[in-house]
Amino acid sequence: FLFFVRYRALIFPLLIREGKPTPFFTFVLALLFCVFNGYLQGRSLTTYATYPPGWLGDSRFITGFLGWLIGMAINIHSDHILRNLRKPGETGYKIPRGGMFEYVSGANFFGEILEWFGFALACCTMESFAFALCTLFILSSRARQHHK
């Protein structure tokens, strides 16, 4: 969880080329969601979640961790493809090619959804499952808009 948050908050913004400005209200809402979710996930895992001995070898944890890892790899690779769609100064719409974009039009969204459902399975907490569902609803809506 912390690895992804560091990537998304610190590394990803440095890699983005010039693009459309984000409205301030959207920025504030996203910031509030991330702060609240980060607190909720951290508090859940450090205070309330209890795991039996050998949990790291349990099939739910292993399957969830692999889902998280594969989802994150898809997400990062898809972001790379999207960042490099246009040459500097070039404008206009381009259809991404390569990676998971060969199978789904919103590969970056698919990767992030897979990532957080894997996280939820690995953690087996209501908070992680709620986050995965929020991710599904928000990103599937965005994916549908991008597909159109």
Residue at 49 is within a domain: no
Q: What is the phi-psi region of residue 94: left when phi exceeds 0, alpha when psi lies from -120 to 50, beta otherwise?
A: beta
pLDDT of the residue at 111:
97
Helix (H, G, I), strand (E, B) or coil at 92: coil
Contact in structure between 132 and 54 (CB atoms under 8 Å): no
Q: How far, rounded to the nearest angstrom, does the alpha carbon of residue 148 sit from its chain's CA centroid? A: 21
Q: What is the number of domains present in the chain?
A: 1
pTM of the model: 0.85
Residue at 26 is within a domain: no
pLDDT in tens, the chain (148 residues): 777 777 777 777 767 766 667 788 887 888 888 889 889 999 999 999 999 999 999 999 999 999 999 999 999 999 999 988 888 777 778 889 999 999 999 999 999 999 999 999 999 999 999 999 999 999 999 999 988 8
CA distance 107 to 71: 10
CA distance 79 to 17: 12
Residue at 68 is within a domain: yes
Question: Which residue in 138, 66, 69 sits closest to 106, CA to CA?
Answer: 138
72 membership: H or E segment, kind and range: helix 59-83
The domain of 80 spans 58-85+96-147
Contact in structure between 66 and 118 (CB atoms under 8 Å): yes
